[in-house]
Amino acid sequence: MSSFENSKPALAMLGLQFSYAIVSLITRAALVQGMSPRIFVVYRQAVATVFIAPLAHFSRRKSGGASMGLRSFSLVFSASLIGVTINQNIYAEGLFLASSSMASAMGNLVPAITFVMAYFIGLEKINIRSFRSVAKIVGTVVCVSGAISMTLLRGPKLLNATIFESRGEDWLLGCLLIFASTCCWSIWLILQVPVTASYPDHLSLSAWLCFLGTLQSGILTLFLEKNLDAWKMHSYLEAGCCLFTGIIGSGVSFFVQAWVISQRGPLFSAMFNPLCTVIVTILASIFLHEEIYSGSLIGAAAVILGLYIVLWGKAKDLMKEDEKVDPKLEIDRRQTVKITIEECRGVKPGLEEPLLSDKSNNIEENSGVHQ
C-alpha cells in the first residue's frame, strides 16, 4: 500500500478539524445574535439530511447494498440519539452560555475519555512493557495537557483585542454542558465500531444519522420551545450558519468520521480533536481579532507533539498487525500447502496401481500366442 493511501485517514481528519473550527466560530456568532440553540440543531440536521439523503439513495441503487436489519437500525438509532440529538443540543446550549474558545478547549478531553472507554471495552490494549502502549498513553496526556494549557496558561499577550464575551452568570453551567457533550461524543465514537460493522455503507449510514437526528431533535424542540417565532431566521448569518454546519459539519463529517473509524479505529479519530483548538485560535485571531497569549502557543506546540506521539504509537500497532498477518507470506504458505497436497495426490495413484499394468498383460498374452 502506498504512503498516500496510508495518509488518507490523517488528511481526512485534518480537513475535518478545519471544518469543525469554522462551525464553532460561526455557530457562536449566530447564537449570540439571538438564534435558539435547539432550533439551530433541528435546522442543521434537516439541511444535512436534504444534502446527503439523495446521494445515499443513488449510491445504494448503483451498488445494490443490503437492507438495514433490526439490529443495525437499533445501533444507528442509539448512535443518533447520543451522538446527534443529545450531544449537539447540550453542546449548542453550552456554547451559547460559555464561549467558542471554552467549547473548543473542552473538546480536547475527547481523546482521553475515548481512550479510557476503548480500553475498558477491549478496543484498545495497553501493555506497560510495550513502548507503543506507553507512547499512546504519554501522547494522550501531553496532547490533552497542552490543549488545557491553551486556556489556563496565559502569559504575556501577543495580540491585544477581544471578541464575543460570554455571559458570566451562566458560565459554569455552560462548561458543564460542554463537558457532558464531550462524553456523548466519545460514546458516539465508540458506537461507530459496532455500527459500521453492522451497516458498512458509510454514505447511507450518514443519511440515517442525520434523518433520525432531525426527527429526534424536532420532537425534543417542540416540547421545550413554546415560542413559534423562534423558528424564524432573522439574518443571512443564521441561514448561512445552518447551511454550512448542516452540509459540512454534519453531512460530510459523519461520512468522514465513519470511514476513518472503520480504517483506523475510534482513538485515531479522537486524537485529532485537539487540532481544532489550535485552528480556532489561529482563525479567531485573524478574522475575529481574539486575544492570543504566549501560553496558548506553548499549549499548541504541546498539542501537536502529543498528537504526533500517539499517531506514532498507532502506526507501530498497525505495522505489528501487518507482520502478524502478512498477505505475501500467507499466499506463499498456501501455495506450499497446495503443492504438497498435489504431490501426495500424485503418489497415491501409483500405490493403488497394480504391479502388472494392462500394457504388461497384453505383451504377455501376445507372446503366448506367438509361442
Q: pLDDT of 249-275, one tens digit each?
A: 887 887 888 788 888 877 677 778 777
Same domain, yes or no, for 170 and 233? yes
Report helix, strand or coil for 129: coil
> Residue 33: how many CB atoms within 10 A of its CB?
13
Give strand pairing partners of 292. 159
Same domain, yes or no, for 205 and 64? yes
* Dihedral angle, C-alpha 202, 52, 9, 146, nearest 10 °: -120
Same domain, yes or no, for 306 and 349? no
Could you tell me the three cell numbers for 154?
496565559
List the domain range (segments joined by +) for residue 343: 328-370
Could you tell me the three cell numbers for 123?
478496543
Report pTM: 0.70
Same domain, yes or no, for 293 and 342? no
Task: Provide the H-helix boundaries in the chain.
Answer: 3-33, 37-63, 70-80, 87-97, 100-106, 110-120, 131-152, 171-198, 202-224, 236-244, 253-264, 266-270, 273-287, 294-324, 327-352, 358-370
Separation between Cα atoms, residue 364 and residue 358, nearest integer Å: 10
What secondary structure does DSSP assign to 56-120, as a single string? HHHHHHHHTPPPP-HHHHHHHHHHHIIIIIIHHHHHHHHHHHS-HHHHHHHGGGHHHHHHHHHHH
Separation between Cα atoms, residue 274 and residue 144, nearest integer Å: 7
- φ/ψ of 292, rounded to 5, equals -125, 130
Separation between Cα atoms, residue 80 and residue 208, nearest integer Å: 8
Same domain, yes or no, for 235 and 344? no
Separation between Cα atoms, residue 170 and residue 98, nearest integer Å: 7
* Confidence (pLDDT) at 46: 94
**First and final C-alpha spacing in the chain:** 75
Separation between Cα atoms, residue 123 and residue 126, nearest integer Å: 10
Same domain, yes or no, for 87 and 207? yes
Same domain, yes or no, for 364 and 303? no
Same domain, yes or no, for 251 and 212? yes
* Confidence (pLDDT) at 224: 85
Same domain, yes or no, for 315 and 266? yes
Separation between Cα atoms, residue 208 and residue 205, nearest integer Å: 5
- What domain count does the chain have? 2
* Confidence (pLDDT) at 220: 92
pLDDT digits (tens, 9 = 90+) for 75-125: 999 999 999 999 999 999 988 887 777 777 777 777 777 877 888 887 777
Tell me the one-letter amino acid at 37.
Answer: P
- φ/ψ of 157, rounded to 5, equals -75, 140
* Confidence (pLDDT) at 365: 44
Task: Point out the residues of the chain with pLDDT beneath 50.
Answer: 160-168, 329-334, 336-371
Same domain, yes or no, for 344 and 318? no
Per-residue DSSP letter, 154: -
Same domain, yes or no, for 15 and 102? yes
In our burial notation (b when 16+ CB lie closer than 10 A, e otherwise), range 256-285 reads bbbbbbbebbbbbbbbbbbbbbbbbbebbb
User: For residue 73, what are the contacts with CB-CB under 8 A and spacing of at least 6?
Assistant: none
* Confidence (pLDDT) at 324: 61
Separation between Cα atoms, residue 111 and residue 310, nearest integer Å: 10
* Confidence (pLDDT) at 366: 46
Could you tell me the three cell numbers for 151?
486556556
Separation between Cα atoms, residue 245 and residue 28, nearest integer Å: 12
* Confidence (pLDDT) at 310: 76
Would you say the C-alpha torsion 171, 172, 175, 180 has a positive or negative sign? Answer: negative
Same domain, yes or no, for 337 and 202? no
Give strand pairing partners of 159. 292
* Confidence (pLDDT) at 290: 59
* Confidence (pLDDT) at 173: 84
